[in-house]
Amino acid sequence: MRTRIATLLGLWALFLTPSVSASAEDIALAYIGQQVIPHGFMYKDTTVGGLSALDYNPVTGRYVAISDDRSDRNPARFYELELTFDETGFPGWHLVDRHFIRRPDGSFFPRPTMMGETSVDPEALKLAPGGQSYFWTSEGHAQHRVAPFIREMALDGRYIRDLSLPAKYLLNDAGSNGVRDNLAFEALTINRDGKSLTVSTEGPLVQDAAEATAGHGAPVRFLTLDIATGKPVAEHIYPVSPVHRESLPFGNFSVNGVVAILALDQQKYIVMERSFSTGAGLSVKLYLADMTAATDVLALDSLAGQTVTAAEKTLLFDLGSLGIAIDNLEGMAFGKPLDDGRLTVLLISDDNFRAAQITQILAFVVEGETR
């Protein structure tokens, strides 16, 4: 199965040839296959599940996936995997290591309190330029006024530093400012310059707008930070689409938001939107977001009453067109190129540690002319 996409693709230049850019027109994304990690699979005395982000290390040839376990079942952690695939199929996966994520004092993140308050909710993870560390995000726990954060850690999970967040993302006592519960920093990507990273919230900030519904979309902030200083340098708005269907019965839970992003160049991103509606199921779509004409809103603490230009977006791929069951996809990464040099894209799902869901890894090959 293929879908036609027209975009820019400069991925491997980031790690291998920083001074060389690549572009492609009318590219086909061809489905290779999938693998499923069994529910409740145990590895090194931990339950493998909740895998919410994926990335590839071209030096080791391994993939890394972070678990969104809030240190409930086991301490917060991430895994290294080997994924075996080529253009003819995706025959296997193999876990090769597990690392616990450390707090600044070197300790593990504690289990949730009796009242349910958690200190961490890992969601996004990407290898830093140079391959000597990772950047990762925590959504925090807005319900209990636990702030989100963006951090750098060593390859073994040891704490390195926190990056700076504007006050607009932080929670206030009145609940009128900051990220929404479970709709904070879900996505992270390293930009093509190798000098900055961009994070995205899953949903709108409290002071910006209401959450997406079947009747309307919502503005989501893409925050870009300088890697050297750890400070914000730009911010743009991405327009999340409305929830794909009304919930059944009407008024039940529904959501649509940004769950993964991949930088193509300094202005363009592949964006994964995941929509869920009770009784109507799941929809996952990939979009091309172009920030070229978007307003830099870094100086705006709130979008209320403001007139801003959001990113332009184009539908690239509806995962529903694959003809297979799609689960709770949350992670997206460029993978190992095929032997003939063609690029690959991989997606991974978060099973929420529920037996009714699966940890699904999908592999695609990017076909078309690149230069």
* 282-294 pLDDT tens trace: 999 999 999 999 9
Q: Could you tell me how far CA 113 lies from the centroid of its own chain?
A: 27
Residue 367 confidence (pLDDT): 75
Residue 194: pLDDT band with limits 50, 70, 90: very high
Across 196-211, average pLDDT: 98
122-126, 130-134, 362-366: segment of lowest average pLDDT: 362-366
Across 5-24, average pLDDT: 34
Residue 14 has pLDDT above 70, yes or no: no
Q: pLDDT per residue over 48-66, tens digit each?
A: 999 999 999 999 999 999 9
Across 248-273, average pLDDT: 93
Residue 29 confidence (pLDDT): 79
- The whole-angstrom separation of Cα 68 and Cα 65 is 10
For the chain, give the percent of residues with pLDDT over 90: 88
Predicted TM-score of the model (pTM):
0.92
Residue 4 has pLDDT above 60, yes or no: no
DSSP string, 143-162: GGTBPPEEEEEETTS-EEEE
* Phi, psi values for residue 319, rounded to 5°: -60, -20
| Residues 6+ away with beta carbon under 8 Å from 151 | 135, 136, 137, 138, 159, 160, 161, 162, 163
Residue 105 confidence (pLDDT): 98
| Residues 6+ away with beta carbon under 8 Å from 168 | 177, 178, 205, 207, 301, 302
Average pLDDT over the chain, rounded to an integer: 91
Residue 281 has pLDDT above 50, yes or no: yes
Residue 28 confidence (pLDDT): 67
Residue 7 confidence (pLDDT): 35
Across 131-146, average pLDDT: 96
Residue 27 confidence (pLDDT): 56
Find the Cα–Cα–Cα–Cα dihedral 304, 310, 315, 320, rounded to 10°.
-20
Across 149-167, average pLDDT: 98
* Phi, psi values for residue 350, rounded to 5°: -100, 115
Amino acid letter for position 345: V
Residue 368 confidence (pLDDT): 60
For the chain, give the percent of residues with pLDDT over 70: 91
In sequence order, what are the beta bridge partners of 86?
89
67-71, 80-84, 177-181, 261-265: segment of lowest average pLDDT: 261-265
